[in-house]
Chain A
C-alpha cells in the first residue's frame, strides 16, 4: 500500500497516507491506539475498503477499486480470518467449504483435502449442518478451513484466539506455523502476547491514523 488514505469508521481516525510493504516470509503484528483503526487496516489489506487516496499494489499490479469485479481475482488469493468473517447462512457447512471448488471447477462432492482439514479440526460430523446450528468455536473453525482451502498467498488474522478454546487453538497454531514456514506472509492483530511472541517478525503501530513500522 502506497500513500494509502482511508476514511474513518466508527470511533477511529481513519488511515492517513500509510505506506506498507508485505514481502514473502514476512510476519507482521499490528497494534493500534483505536480498535476501529486496526480493523480498518486489516479490511484495507483484504481490499474490502475503498481508499480515498493512494495505491494498492499486489505483486506489482496496481489494483483498480473503481469496480469490485476487478478485485475478485486478487481477493481469492487473500485468506482473511476475522470476527466478521461469515459463512453463507442458507447453505450447509459443506457447501460453504466447497463454494470455490463448486464454482470454479463446476464440481460437487467433498475432496480429500477438505475432508482431512475437517477431520483435523474435528468438525467432520457437522458438515450437513447450517451455520446457525454451530457454536462459535466450530463456526470459527469452518471459516479457518474455508480460508486455508483457498491456498492463500497472504494470510490476515484478526484476533485469532477469539472463539477458539485452547485445544483447537493449538491445532490452528500448528497449521499456521507450517504456512509461515512455507513463506506465506502473515499479518495479524491480537492482544495475545504469546501469539505475538511466537509469530511476530516485525511490528507496525497505528497511532492517530499514522502507521509506524519497526
Chain B
C-alpha cells in the first residue's frame, strides 16, 4: 500500500512539474513576442508564413471532407427528430461550439504536432540547435515563436472553414432529403450564433494552438541525444496535446456556457 501511495505521489509530482515546465516555456515564448527584437523579423515572417501554409493550407484537403461528412451526419440525424427551429440551434451547439474546435484540433495534432516534434527532435539530436546558438541566435526566436504564431493562426482559420463547410455542406445533404428552405435554415443559424460563440471560438483557438505548439516543441527539444527517443517523444506529444485540448475544451465550455 505504501509503495502504491508513493508511486502515486511521485507520479503526481512529476506531472505537476511537467505542467509547470510547459507554462514556463509558454512564458518564455510570450516574452519574445512582447520584446519584439528588431533582429530576425524578416526571417520570422517567412517562417510564420511557412507554418501557416503547412498547418492550414495543406490541411484543407482533410478538413473539408471531414467537415462535410460530420456536418451531413449530424444534420441528417437531427433533421428527423427536430423541427426547423431547433435544427439551426442544434447545428450551432454541436458544430460551432464543440465538434468543430475539437476535430480541427485533432487534425492539426495528427498532422502538425507530430511534424513539429519530429523536426525539433531531429534538430536537437543532430546538433542543429547548437549550430543556431553558435550563430548567436536564440533558437526559441526562430523555432518556437513562429510555430506558436503560425499554428494558432492556422487553427483559428481552420475553425472558421470547418464550421462553414460543416454547416453549409451539411445543409446541402439535408436539403436533398428534405425540403428545408435555405433562407430559414440560415436565419436560424444566424439567430443561434451569438457574440459569445465567436469569442469562445477565438479563445479555444488560441488555447488549443498554444497547447499543441508548446507540447510538441517541448517534447521535441527534450528528445536528448538518441534518435530512438524521437518516436517516443512524438507519440507522447500527440497524446498529451489531445488530452490538453479536451480538458481545455471542457473547461472553456463550462466557464462560458454553464
Q: Interface 1/0s, chain B 123-150, versus A by CB < 8 A? A: 1001110111111111000100000000
A118 within 8 A of B: no
Asked if B122 is an interface residue, CB under 8 A from chain A, the answer is yes
Whether the Cβ atoms of B137 and A99 lie closer than 8 Å is yes
- Closest-by-CB residue of A relative to B131 is A86
1/0 per residue B92-135: CB within 8 Å of A?
00000000000000000000000000010011001110111111
Shortest Cβ distance from B45 into A: residue: A106
Stretch at the interface among B17-25, B34-42, B155-163, B197-205: B34-42
Please indicate the chain B residues that have their CB under 8 angstroms from the CB of A107 in the complex. Answer: 42
SS of B interface (majority): helix
A157 CB-CB contact with B under 8 Å: no
Residues 87-107 of chain A, each 1 if its beta carbon lies under 8 Å from chain B, else 0: 111100000000110111011
A-B contact count (CB 8 A): 71
Interface size on A, residues (CB 8 A): 29
Residues in chain B near residue A88, CB distance under 8 A: 123, 128, 131-132
Question: Is the C-beta of B14 less than 8 angstroms from some C-beta in chain A?
Answer: no
Report B-chain residues with C-beta under 8 Å of the C-beta of A104.
39-40, 136
Q: How far is the CA of A99 from the CA of B126 in the complex (A)?
A: 18
Number of interface residues of B (CB under 8 A): 22
The contact of B127 among A76, A85, A108, A146, by CB within 8 Å, is A85
Q: Are A73 and B136 in contact (CB under 8 A)?
A: yes
A84 at the interface (CB under 8 A from B): yes
Partner of B119, one of A68, A73, A90: A90
Contact B133 A75 (CB under 8 A): yes
Contact indicator B131/A103 (Cβ below 8 Å)? no
Residues of A within 8 A of B (CB): 46, 48, 68-69, 71-73, 75-78, 80, 84-90, 99-100, 102-104, 106-108, 146, 150
User: Given A86-B128, A86-B130, A102-B40, 17 other A-B contacts at CB below 8 A?
Assistant: A68-B133, A72-B137, A75-B133, A75-B135, A76-B134, A76-B135, A78-B134, A85-B127, A85-B131, A86-B131, A88-B123, A88-B132, A99-B132, A103-B43, A106-B41, A108-B42, A146-B135
What would 11 A/B residue contacts be, using CB atoms closer than 8 Å? A48-B130, A84-B130, A86-B131, A88-B128, A88-B131, A88-B132, A89-B128, A103-B39, A104-B40, A106-B39, A146-B135
Q: Which residues of B contact A (CB under 8 A)?
A: 38-43, 119, 122-123, 126-128, 130-138, 142
